[in-house]
Structure 1
Amino acid sequence: MELIKLTWYVIRRRWPVILIVLVVALTGGALYNATQKSEYTASTSLFLRAPDVKTSTSAYQGDLFSRQRAQTYMNIITSDELAQSVIDKLGLSMSPSELESRVSASTVKETVIIVLSAKDSDPQEAANIANGYASVFASYVAKVENVQNDPSVPPLVTVINAASADTAVRGGYSLTMTLLVALIVALVVSALIIWFLEYFDTKPRTRRDIEEAAGAPVIATFGSDIDDPGVPSGSLTPALAEEAQRAGVAVRQRLQQVARSDDAGYEDDVDDTDGAAFALVGDRAGVGAVQAGYAMAEGIAASGASVSLLTLGAYVADVPADSGSSVTLLSLPTAFSDEATIRESLEQLRSKTDYVVVASSSAVTSVESEVALSLSDAFVLCVAPGQSTSVGIREAVRVSDGIHKPMLGVVVTHAVQTPTVSGVYV
């Protein structure tokens, strides 16, 4: 059952691959069937008469003679002389070798019947060639067997079933068969492509995958209701506010733990964490760090603390005065900000508020994100399932370890994002 659920989950994620391969395969099969050259096969049946017999023994020997002769006669059918006789009779504009390539013969098992078949793009022409061979074959065999001078000897070969255009069989595959084969091939190719994509997919999609890649717990998961990139509404939905508050509590607790173990002289008292800042960054551009940062700032502010949100590389609109939000917003576009400006703004915010949330809309390896990390006390990694990669997450952890900044946890966001040409989110 779990395998079925997993297979269905993969199919739901990769259905465009299946659809594209199916369309390509079925279209290709239909085009192949429409463009392939039609070829019809018409057949006529020849009966080999045994020599005149008077006893049962001679009858058996005559039948055996005819069966053995049937194998010889099939080889005679490919004779150039016989082919030329047919060409002359039908007035065909082709060489004997070309005609021979269209003709074949076989015997009916345990009988003295030869089936002579001819192929052509025109079913009537195929029937004419088959009948033309049948009409000259008897006289040709008589000539070879040297019996034509004795009028009392009946011909050894008799036509028992003439070829007809109505019974000519069209060669190749029918449209139904072609499409069926295309469908099977499409499903197999789709399965191989999906397996390849899944095998080499480095994007974590489950909580366990994210926590294993980051080496830190997930402290919050924000749904798609954070769908206004970089523009806070001034109020959160009840479900979002509840999740943000849990995230705020987790961040405060982790910040206090960092403060107690820090060499900067923090004490155990909660108030001594005033002025602490943490950076919220993504492992790649556009993972909703700004939206998550605002939600977490609101969650911390809900506990009674004063919080400032400093955004880098993304515009954040002012929160309406009557919104009830206690979060102070400050946006610094990185195009006009250097490290000194960011440092000065951050210090001003830290002197006025209990906590400062620094949100960056670009990748963690960008200059602004590294500056935000270097000026913060700790950081929270923002991850988007299906968009962030395990490599990117590990790189973010490596960068933070390089500048000795502890990770408070991971925030998962399903925010709907709108990228610009410059890579930032507005």
Structure 2
Amino acid sequence: MLTLKVITENPEAVIEGLTRKHFDAKELITTVIELDKTRRNTQVVLDANLAELNNISKSIGQLMKEGKKEEAEIARAKVNEMKEGNKALEETKTNAELEIQNILVQIPNLPHESVPNGRVAEDNVIERTGGAIPELSEDALPHWDLAKKYDLIDFELGVKITGAGFPVYKGYGCRLQRALINFFLDNAREAGYLEIQPPYVVNADSGYGTGQLPDKEGQMYHATVDDLYLIPTAEVPVTNIYRDVILNDADLPIKNTAYSACFRREAGSYGKDVRGLNRLHQFDKVEIVRIDKPEHSYESLTEMVNYVQTLVEKLELPWRILRLCGGDMSFTSALTFDFEVYSAAQKRWLEVSSVSNFESYQANRLKCRYRDENKKTQLCHTLNGSAMALPRIVAALLENNQTPEGIRIPKALIPYTGFDLIK
């Protein structure tokens, strides 16, 4: 969340900045400023009262020594009266602080100055592209038909066992999944990321820390009896490793990677976007997470984007990178780059990765800090990216590499699959 300091020092700039995310923050910002004034003014009165209480309390002993019992009793009554008044003041201050906190979590992160203006996905800016779009025969099949033809994925069986969006992988389909996971993890390790194996469920504090909670859109699966949440991405447990932690300057940047299953309700999804592997409730993903110093975080973001580019290139997929416009960005992001690969049978681009810098927005919620060279405590910057999500990668690999003999496996992936062709 945005810091109170950022909001109170330049509220007009915050309001103006958030209009680029098409968020009207004026009323919320005005309320926060008024509540902060109440909080600060109340604290001033409390501090003065406490000083006076201290002086009166000291005087009571002296009055008793001097035999001025009546004056001492009056002083005691004054102390009791002031203590009761202070309780009311403490309650006023606490209520103001709680209300400020409740409002701050409703305000999105400010977009970086380089974020394009725009409201919808069509307004995103293509940064660069690569790879050749394959020319398939007229009888080329979409991945859901290829999955059935080669007995790779059974969507109907998943519906029987659980419901739509929970496919069952089989045979070569399982081996391809496992190969991609290991391929992505090995590449991340070689790029300097430390592998983490996190839990797949988290508590409410963790969901709050990375911004998934409050879950206004109802996208998280909630185990209500234990008040735990199935993770929508490994970003959540991995970033929360650093919740309530003060790091040393020399520790940064921290680079972690993690494989996990991911669970998303995808409420409101419909149409062609949900066919086959295009949109699932459960899927596999390898995530990269960085914790960094503010002055270095955008250099880290560039490094992360370049790294994800190497993955799609090694998989021989046609790709493009989009700089997201303000209206298409997530609530918590300051700057996001999306990767898309071309699905030749569907004749459309599929998003396979988002790489984002959250600046101090998550860190402020997490209380993730570091001590700088002057031993002063500062908020970190947090970044993450998909490296990568499997379903649409699998969809593009199957469609783009179909041949009369079978489905060709990209050269870089063969050591992981153990086969070069799905027959």
Q: TM-score, normalised by structure 1?
A: 0.29
Structure having greater relative contact order (Cα 8 Å, sep ≥ 6): 2
- Structure with bigger gyration radius: 1
TM-score (norm 2): 0.29
